[in-house]
Amino acid sequence: MSTGSTYPWKHGAPRTVFLTGASSGIGRDMAQRLAAEGASLALFNRSDARAVLAALRAAARQPEQRFACYRADVANAPAIEAAVAQAVRELGAPDLAIHSAGVLHNGPLQTSSAQDFEHVIDVNLKGSRHFAAAVLPQMQPGSQIAFIASLAALTGNFGYTAYCASKFGVRGLAEALRYEMKLQGIDVSLCCPGEILTPMVVAEKRAMHPVSAAMKAFAGSSTLDVSVPALLRGIARREFEITDTPKAALTAWLSRHTPQLARAVGDAIARRAQERLSKGTP
């Protein structure tokens, strides 16, 4: 570990980090913690990030650190490619790239539109591809790319057909990309946290289907202060699949090693929740 580092960086703390989705939630929290590790950061957001840049400058450990934000939608391949190229010219190539941008949609397939589904796939799955395709040609051996997926990349949930499809896709992308990048000396990590109470998730919970909420309760909820350091520790150790809490790790283990049991437990939780909903009881 590098002197003064908070995390167990296998090859030293990153010097330059490219990160998407840093306007709030996981991305913003990661950016601040990485700034405190001494990294310069290039942020890629659809929205303005002046407040985030100010927070990064306040968190910076060294005066030579640089921070910049580039307006680009990860769902737009030419836009994110141009933004990444500009960032490389201005800050240099990254030794760590993190794709954190994402969107949520909760609702059964039969009550969700094709546009709902396509939007989630465009941002979560295609955005992962577009960011990776833009940034990897700029990266050198010894560097690393990490995708912030979800526990929904490992197990299904009622009302999350679009979200699970997108995150299962990100998992497949990362699994295949790992083989490609291993030959180039670049590590790939896949972060699969359970529910984290970010502003996006808190807003979603107000309208979440009760069956979805009951099933998500099995894996529990966490906070940024707990989950982001856990994810960064896994990234620092160059782990491939990373979870954030013991409950999330248990859920992932059950889904992988005892899938029939995991589905039976999920069916039972969903059935009880649906019965309560039918009776109008909480």
Report DSSP state, residue 222. E
Average pLDDT of every residue of the chain: 93
Instruction: Name the residue type at position 167.
Output: K
Does residue 204 or residue 214 have the better pLDDT? 214
3 pLDDT exceeds 60? Answer: no
Phi first, then psi: give them for residue 27, nearest 5 degrees.
Answer: -60, -45
Helix (H, G, I), strand (E, B) or coil at 184: coil
- pLDDT computed for residue 205 by the predictor: 78
Which residues, in sequence order, are CB contacts of 205 under 8 Å at separation 6+? 213
pLDDT bucket at 209, cuts 50 / 70 / 90? confident
Tell me how crowded residue 122 is: count the other CB atoms within 10 A of its CB.
17
- pLDDT computed for residue 67 by the predictor: 97
Q: Determine the Cα angle at 200 with ends 194 and 204, to 5°.
A: 85
pLDDT bucket at 200, cuts 50 / 70 / 90? confident
Q: Give Cα separations from 3 to 13, 38, 76 (angstroms).
A: 9, 11, 39
- pLDDT computed for residue 1 by the predictor: 34
**What percent of the chain lies above the pLDDT cut of 70?**
98
- pLDDT computed for residue 278 by the predictor: 86
Structure tokens at 124: 């979560």
- pLDDT computed for residue 199 by the predictor: 80
Tell me how crowded residue 165 is: count the other CB atoms within 10 A of its CB.
17
pTM to 2 decimal places: 0.93
Domains and CATH numbers, the chain: 16-279 (3.40.50.720)
Q: Which residue is catalytic, options 7, 160, 163, 179? A: 163
- pLDDT computed for residue 106 by the predictor: 87
Mean pLDDT score, 187-201: 91
pLDDT tens-place string over residues 80-92:
999 999 999 999 9
Report the range out of 22-26, 74-78, 203-207 with the highest average pLDDT. Answer: 74-78
**What percent of the chain lies above the pLDDT cut of 90?**
80
pLDDT bucket at 282, cuts 50 / 70 / 90? low
163 flagged as catalytic: yes
Dihedral-angle region of residue 17 (phi above 0 means left; psi in -120 to 50 means alpha; beta otherwise) = beta
- pLDDT computed for residue 4 by the predictor: 65
281 pLDDT exceeds 80? Answer: no
Tell me how crowded residue 47 is: count the other CB atoms within 10 A of its CB.
9
